[in-house]
Amino acid sequence: MSLTLADEQAFAQGGNRLCFVHPEHADRCIKVRRPDFTLEDLRRKKGFPKSLLPLHYFDDNREEHEVITGLAQQHGEPVFELISRCYGFEDSDLGPGLVLELVRDADGQISQTLKAQIWGEGYTPDCQAAVEHFCQQWRSLQIPSRDLLLHNLLVQKDSEGKVRRIVVIDGLGSPNLIPFNRLPAPLRAAKVERKLANLQQRIEQTLAKKARGEQPGYHGMATAHHPQDNHKG
Ligand SMILES: Nc1ncnc2c1ncn2[C@@H]1O[C@H](COP(=O)(O)OP(=O)(O)OP(=O)(O)O)[C@@H](O)[C@H]1O
Ligand SMILES: [Mg+2]
């Protein structure tokens, strides 16, 4: 049976997808394509020559499902400390939705992004330790990703309000034509290292931006009442 989402309020949205709490499982979310920014719109926006590629090439849900399924086969349980668990597709009145672990803090609140966390509270020692642990694990499992953007990482807090886990919820996979696993090992390691160095840089840039008194920008600062609404990945 198809899920009814059109009448529900999305708890968050990115440039491409709307995120709903799964109507039947409080610990899962379901992500559907934004009706106001379809795959056709996205393909058009990419321009020539990418506009010649088939639509499924642009489908984040399809890619995320493939990548998470592959990582689960390759690494088993340990990978789900770092990325959200994926439960496959379900039909909805807003099209097919990908069902994933909904990351919540110990108090039940939906976890916020690393961007919102460090903007709001600074780079506290607990958060720093969680990021360091995340980087170690990411390095040892060598997970292929696009840039690790601060609005695509969530901070999960324990009952004392301390950051305990960093979870990647978007941007998995490899943007290259050669599949990540076919690359020579040193190149894979170098790619992973570059993404981690880049993550540290983004954290420092965000702290510097805040110190200068600038605005954070919408992306990744949303709450359920102020959904994000731009189209940047
Ligand atoms: N599994 C999750 N648990 C809790 N919150 C989530 C989860 N997935 C997404 N979110 C929230 O929803 C926002 C948008 O989700 P997501 O990044 O998947 O959308 P997107 O449209 O693919 O993003 P982008 O603009 O980066 O393409 C996130 O920034 C985060 O705040
Ligand atoms: Mg995102």
Query: pLDDT digits over 55-114, tens only?
Result: 999 999 999 999 999 999 999 999 999 999 999 999 999 999 999 999 999 999 999 999
Residues carrying CATH 3.30.200, the chain: 12-101
Query: For residues 153 and 112, what is the distance between their CA atoms, to the nearest angstrom?
Result: 9
In this structure, whether the domain defined by 112-211 belongs to CATH 1.10.510 is answered with yes
Give the model's confidence band at 147: pLDDT under 50 very low, under 70 low, under 90 confident, else very high. Answer: very high
102 Cβ inside 6 Å of ligand 1: yes
Ligand 1 atom having least distance to the Cα of 101: 1
Burial class (CB in 10 A: 0-12, 13-18, 19+), 203: buried
14 Cβ inside 6 Å of ligand 1: yes
Q: Using alpha carbons only, give the angle 150, 153, 156 rounded to the nearest 5 degrees.
A: 125
Please tell me the number of the ligand nearest to residue 83's CA: 1
Q: 12-101 in CATH: which number?
A: 3.30.200
Q: What local confidence, expressed as pLDDT, does residue 227 receive?
A: 44
Q: What local confidence, expressed as pLDDT, does residue 222 receive?
A: 65
220 Cβ inside 6 Å of ligand 1: yes
Mean pLDDT for 209-222 is 88
Give the model's confidence band at 229: pLDDT under 50 very low, under 70 low, under 90 confident, else very high. Answer: very low
151 Cβ inside 6 Å of ligand 1: yes
Residues carrying CATH 1.10.510, the chain: 112-211
Beta strands 97-101 and 112-113 are unpaired
170 Cβ inside 6 Å of ligand 1: yes
Ligand 1 atom having least distance to the Cα of 102: 3
Gap from CA of 162 to ligand 1 centroid (Å): 21
Query: For residues 189 and 144, what is the distance between their CA atoms, to the nearest angstrom?
Result: 10
Gap from CA of 183 to ligand 2 centroid (Å): 26
Mean pLDDT for 114-120 is 97
Ligand 1 atom having least distance to the Cα of 220: 29
